[in-house]
Amino acid sequence: MSDIAKREFAELAVSGKNYLTWALDAKIMLGAKNILKCIQDPIVGTSASGISELPTQAEKNQALHFLRHHLNATLKNEYMTEEDPKVLWHSLKDHYGHQQNGFVVRVILHVGSRVIDTTALLDSRATTYFMDMLFARTYSIPKATKTKPVPIEVIDKLLLLLGAITKGTTPL
């Protein structure tokens, strides 16, 4: 009986804090069980045997059971009415998938009379702001040469291979 309750990996937490690893682990295991097609969009065309690669109802049931087995009890109750593994997968992705870009935020820059709608990567240990020179050039963002180059270290305390920062943007 203990084998039935055994999980191959951690269940998805209600907070979704482990969604990225959970989704990757689930995809790997569904692939290993040859039922990954149950959560994917159908492939246009047919297999070598001429038979469409759509999942059978038995495969869908197996995939749904597997996914629900790896959900927190609260999430099982919340998604109780989902009877299709693909619908459940996409519902969870819609709810928690934004965490894939957890460190990318939308930024709206006002440069003169122009508005630039873009994204920025957040670095929790950054001590200043950085902008890609191509981005600055493309949008004609004013730059100034720094009086003293700023050496940049990456997380393991090594110097950035591209060298020190020699230019900065002027206040917008």
Distance CA 32, CA 19 (A): 20
Q: Which residues pair with 144 in a beta bridge?
A: 168
- CA-closest candidate to residue 167, choices 127, 132, 140: 132
Q: Two tokens at 25?
A: 């682990």
Whole-number percent of the chain with pLDDT over 90: 28
Q: Two tokens at 29?
A: 């295991």
Q: What is the pLDDT of residues 92-117, one digit of tens each?
A: 988 887 654 446 667 788 877 888 87
Helix (H, G, I), strand (E, B), or coil: what is residue 36? Answer: helix
Q: What is the pLDDT of residues 155-170, one digit of tens each?
A: 666 666 667 788 877 7
Q: Contact at 8 Å (CB) between 88 and 79? A: yes
- pTM, two decimal places: 0.54
Residue whose token pair is 């870009």: 101
Region label for 112, one of left (φ > 0), alpha (ψ between -120 and 50) or beta (otherwise)? left
